[in-house]
Amino acid sequence: MRNVFYACCLGVGILLLCHPLSASEFQIGLQTELDESFKRLKGVPGVAIAVDTPDQGNIFAGTGTGNTQTGEAVQAQQRFRVASISKFYTAALVMKLQELGYLQIDDLVSQHLVVPGLPHGDSMTIRQLMDHSAGVYDHINGTNDFWSIALADPYKVWSDNEIMQYAVDNGPVHTPGSQYSYSNTGSYLLGLVVESVTGMPLSSALSFHMLEPLQLTQSFMDDWSNPGSPISQLAENDRAYEFHKTGIMAAGAVVANSGDVASMARGVLGGQYLSTTSVTQMTSPSANNSGYGLSTYIWDAATYGYLHYGHTGTLSGYKSIVMYVPEFDVSIAILSNGYANNDSSWYTLIDNVFNYVTGWYAQQGGGNCQAPGVSEWVIDNQQATLNGNWQSDNRGNRYYGSNFLLDEQPSVGQESARYDFTGLAAGIWQVSAYYPANRNYASNTPISVTTDTDTYVMSLDQSNNGGQWNSLGSFSIMQGGSLSTTINTSGANGSVIADAIRVQFVDCLP
């Protein structure tokens, strides 16, 4: 994370001279990486990649067959079904509508839309639809007759009542807010909320409030195509029109080319479209899944080398992923029109492309901001503010420091341990928790992270991944700001541990 990308690119006039060369070198390397990885990607006709950058524009690489019906090669202008990346589009739209005053994400869904007979319809919130904790039955992956009807008639236009009736008839998966359960029907319902508050069809609301402001001219919500009304420049496969996408809408009906998908992610998470507060809300871990925010996957730096956010998609023979890397302010979209015979080869391609892009920018000088003098800070339990009857313990050897704290009677009283970090530099800080390894510890330890502007409540599974740092997410902090992490025992299903909390600077603010 240094101040400039290239020594030769300090002045505006000089930047214009060195830009084409660096962009060309980067694109050649990207294309080479894709070609090599594609050789091992059996079963996939073609792949399109776009990388949206702060210094080189939108860079494309493609290989293979872009249209299995015509044999046309992959082209930059070809559009793909991005499947569940649509959920990310929809979530970004909802966050913008919150900024515009149409709704608040902690509103009850029933404040804006009533679905007759929907289980818990009067108690679930918009946020819970976005983080998949609302407990709405999933008509796409559940056991029902949706697919038999949809595949039998690809011209069938689905009504909102038909889709929501699956959730009514099959009952709730769980009580809203109690756990994570991925639901396409919940995302579909989120789209209905958008329609209700804007008074527009979802496709129009998305276009007016998001696609047009971000100048995404090759993207749209597909609520009309069928075998007799095909999409211009679609990267077709044999399943492209297997069912009418009114059956999935906000959960998976967006069509876009790779350049638009990459630009969208960088625009949304890079601060061009949403406020810093909204981006933080989208990318902070949800209460029931530390790897998922508001329709946003969180891939931590400890596992993947660099913290990044985005979404994946799989539908109708299309597979996709979009990733935004705040360290370098770059986004990567990888779209395909087929499924790999071996899933591991698809993930290897993703890893290879991701490593190439991040490696390039790391070599060129990294991100465009300076890390603070103190970029990591650990507070052990001995420096935490304690309440209640904690028991000191040092059994085993996979704890941090000289001991850890144990709540040996989780059903008696209420303990808490608060770790306060003050005077932090402005930036995005990753918070991680450390605790010893023991499968008998609580799997739903309540934990919260409080910044100067927000509090994020989540659940930590201390029965797994002990003896290592476990990310709780990344949070935006203003200059001189504070961050507190609190572990408490209320409602935990086993012994709760208070050991150590760490914060690490990962990037500057957008």
Any domain includes 25: no
Indicate if 424 and 349 belong to the same structural domain: no
Does residue 17 surpass a pLDDT of 50? no
Any domain includes 390: yes
Any domain includes 394: yes
User: pTM here?
Assistant: 0.77
Q: Which residue is it, tokens 């983080």?
A: 131
What lies within 8 Å, CB to CB, of 395 at 6+ separation is none
Q: Report the percentage of the chain scoring pLDDT > 90.
A: 78
Indicate if 116 and 248 belong to the same structural domain: yes
Residue 410 token pair: 């989780």
Residue pLDDT, tens place only, 487-501: 999 888 889 999 999
Sign of CA dihedral 345, 350, 353, 358: negative
Q: Which residue has the higher pLDDT, 437 or 335?
A: 335
Does residue 15 surpass a pLDDT of 50? no
| Number of domains into which the chain is organized | 2
The b/e string for 306-339 (b: 16+ C-beta within 10 A; e otherwise) is bbbbbbbbebbbbbbbbbbbbbbbbbbbbbbbbb
Average pLDDT, the chain: 91
Query: Given this model, what pLDDT does residue 363 score?
Result: 86
Query: Given this model, what pLDDT does residue 23 score?
Result: 60
Indicate if 387 and 356 belong to the same structural domain: no
- Domain ranges, residue 258: 80-364
Any domain includes 439: yes
Does residue 510 surpass a pLDDT of 90? no
Going edge to edge, which strands form the sheet with 58-64?
58-64, 46-52, 330-336, 318-325, 308-315, 297-299
What lies within 8 Å, CB to CB, of 36 at 6+ separation is 352
Residue pLDDT, tens place only, 51-63: 999 989 999 999 9
Residue pLDDT, tens place only, 260-282: 999 999 999 999 999 989 999 99
| Strands of 402-444, DSSP E | 404-407, 416-424, 427-435
Q: State mean pLDDT over 456-469.
A: 88
CATH number at residue 451: 2.60.120.260
Residue 194 token pair: 């958008």
Distance CA 478, CA 482 (A): 8
pLDDT band of 11, cuts 50, 70, 90 = very low
Query: Given this model, what pLDDT does residue 479 score?
Result: 87
Query: Given this model, what pLDDT does residue 266 score?
Result: 97
Does residue 454 surpass a pLDDT of 60? yes
Q: Looking at 207-248, list the stretches that DSSP marks H as alpha helix, in order from N- to C-terminal side.
A: none
Q: Report the percentage of the chain scoring pLDDT > 70.
A: 93
Query: Given this model, what pLDDT does residue 413 score?
Result: 66
Query: Given this model, what pLDDT does residue 151 score?
Result: 98
Any domain includes 230: yes
Does residue 347 surpass a pLDDT of 80? yes
- % helix, strand, coil for the chain, step of 5: 30, 25, 45
Report helix angle 85-99 to 258-269, nearest 10. Answer: 40
What lies within 8 Å, CB to CB, of 104 at 6+ separation is 98, 126
Any domain includes 50: no
